[in-house]
Amino acid sequence: MTGPSRMARLRGVGLPVQSNSQRWFRVQPWHGLALLLLLALGVRAWQLTFHSLWLDEAFSLFWANKPAATIVRVGLTLTEDKHPPLYYLLLHGWLRLFGASDAAVRGLGVGLGALAVWPTFGLGLALNRRAGRARRGAWLAAVLVALNPFLIWYSQEVRIFMPATTFGLWGLYAWLRALSPTPAPGRKLATLFWYALAVSGLLAACYSYLFAAFLLPVAGLWLLVEKTPGRPVRDWRAFLRDLWPSALALLLMAALFAPLALAAWRVSGAEAAPGAPFANLFATLARLLAAYTVRQASWPQPLLAAAVIGAGGLLLIGLAAALRQDRRRGLLLLLWLAVPLLLGNLLQAKDATVFAETRYFIFLIPALCLAWAAGLDAIWRARPWLGRALTVGFVAVFLAALPALWSHDPALRREDWRTAAQVVGRYATAQDVVVNHVNYTELAFARYYQGAAPRQAPFGAALADESAVEAGLDPLTGADTLWLVLSHQEGIDPANLVRAWLGGRFPLVTELYPAGIAIRAYATQYRLTALPSAAKPVDGPSQANGAVRLAGCRLEPGPVAATDDAMHPPSGWAHVTLYWQALAAPAADHLARVRLVDADGQVWGESLERADSALHFYPMTRWRPGEIVRDDYDVNLNPRTPPGAYRAAVALLDEAGPDVMCGVVSVTNR
């Protein structure tokens, strides 16, 4: 006779019994973590190509496309590029696997950014392990990391900052696990794994982004906090036996990072001016907290201030709660936040730009999320209804800030090289020349440019005077139009010598302003002997007392949108080029106007007046009989212009008589 079954024995002692199917469908922690990872991945993949790649991302691709040996050499010396090589090496391999489209190259950051959720959850459990109520705080921290607007923004960027943050997170999580006591069975093997992961993660962060090295002192202090005995040591041999693996791992990390640290120290003095330690400390902390809470939300100032003050108060509550529940583990969180900020302020004595960009300290955000989660958890325990309400409210703040990441407002967009290249490609002809100023912006522009006009980038060193400008530009003035694409010229041409040289010699054709970029086109051939073949002849009547007539015009090459959200929202525009012919020597100067009118004569668009347009730059009283003068206009549209065909009506402003119709412009909704 066989004994009772296992199920019967469990029932006999009053334990709950689940069938295999019930155990299969029971929700496990990893189920929730997997869903949270999918959420983090989904929100980071959303609108992935909304922004074009900006200049720094183009630099990432430039280095990632170099041979691996070159990436390592440049990354270890920090002379040609100021960032270490690991991220570029990873991107190098990624490009070969997935290609170089905007979505593909950003996929690496999206994946690594989503993976930050996992170690955050682990740290949430580990930092509160002794409190015995860790799980809710861990989940809250992981949710906040998944939805943090700042982390999402930099997960969608082909740069080092989010990958280094994820590497550092894994390193700190593994380090804490390695320092923690583990059950006897398999202890040595498990501890060895965590040490290996800690060393790998923290070094990967440092060899991707130099400021991630601030996490190494944090790891050292965590070692002291975790291994310092709470009572007098009775067995020193056992104490040292427990301590030496951690000390050895820390020394190994320091030794492996030392060559890169020395290279960074050597080059930093040559590239940055010294500053004052702790200068504008509270303003800097407030700026960091605002960025790490809502990134760039364009909310009313009172609402933004309330969100930041609330985040600051919750941070203090969370740190206090963590210290009260478990002083040691609370101290670990406090050190994670305080040590990098302290060292960064001290480093300002050598480099005044340490806090110039909020992204430089992005690796603090997971610590903030852990502290915020600790605060919400503490309030939840004391007043459940208030804790729930604040949790919903704080998550709602993150969610409400997310749309600003994909806003059509040019002030909130990355540098829009896609639009810049497309608009120049649309208007520039094979007889024009495109000048990227300065030369390294060619990397971003060339990625999207498919136009017929050749590109030049003559200026890459600081311009001291006009002679250097003339040497670079004078050979290009034989083109019909010279398109000047301006961005990041502050270090090369702070006095705008290139723009001044062109503006003093040629009339302005158009000026456009994609986000982070200025485009100015100059008519280098504006005095002509014959009507160009691309122009449509116009049999216009003589004007200005018979001295001039409109001989031809050239209209927008395709349908135009009534609205524009990339260069000068909300209005779209149509470009019109007029060709005036001097029949005699004009006795007075005149200005012109171009309007778009419908069949009923209603005006839906009017030309913008520019002080440096052709009729200002080269007044009529200077014209020679017989010559043809090119005159360009941007006709600004009413955003509510209905789709349809509109006539371009041209008139001299102080002349009586009907307008001259020089063609038709097609307008669409978008």
CATH 2.60.40.770 fits 527-668, yes or no: yes
pLDDT of the residue at 188: 77
pLDDT of the residue at 235: 62
Q: What is the distance between the alpha carbons of residues 450 and 534, in angstroms, rounded to a whole number?
A: 20
pLDDT of the residue at 268: 74
Q: pLDDT digits over 524-561, tens only? A: 999 999 999 999 999 888 898 899 999 999 998 778 99
Q: What is the distance between the alpha carbons of residues 219 and 227, in angstroms, rounded to a whole number?
A: 12
- Whether 406 contacts 429, CB under 8 Å: no
pLDDT-based confidence at 411, cuts 50/70/90? confident
pLDDT surpassing 50 at residue 22: no
pLDDT surpassing 80 at residue 83: yes
Q: What residue type is assigned to position 638 of the chain?
A: N
One DSSP character per residue, 217-266 reads: HHHHHHHHHHHS-SS--S-HHHHHHHHHHHHHHHHHHHHHHHHHHHHHHH
Domain boundaries along the sequence of the chain: 28-406, 418-522, 527-668
Mean pLDDT of 565-578: 89
Higher pLDDT, 18 or 432: 432
DSSP-assigned beta bridge partners for residue 607: 635
pLDDT of the residue at 185: 55
Lowest mean pLDDT among 133-137, 402-406, 410-414, 510-514: 133-137
Q: What percent of the chain shows pLDDT beyond 70?
A: 92
Higher pLDDT, 457 or 18: 457
pLDDT of the residue at 540: 84
Mean pLDDT of 127-148: 84
pLDDT of the residue at 13: 37
pTM of the model: 0.91
Lowest mean pLDDT among 15-24, 26-35, 315-324, 622-631: 15-24
Cβ-based burial of 325 (10 A; exposed 0-12, middle 13-18, buried ≥19): buried
pLDDT of the residue at 130: 53
Q: Residue 665 is encoded by which pair of tokens?
A: 């412009």
pLDDT surpassing 70 at residue 657: yes
Q: What is the distance between the alpha carbons of residues 663 and 649, in angstroms, rounded to a whole number?
A: 8
Q: pLDDT digits over 172-215, tens only? A: 999 999 998 755 555 778 889 999 999 999 999 999 999 999 99
| Average pLDDT score, the chain | 91
pLDDT of the residue at 186: 58
- Listed ranges 76-85, 123-132, 517-526; the one with the highest mean pLDDT: 517-526
Task: Please give the backbone phi and psi of residue 510, each rounded to the nearest 5 degrees, phi first.
Answer: -160, 160
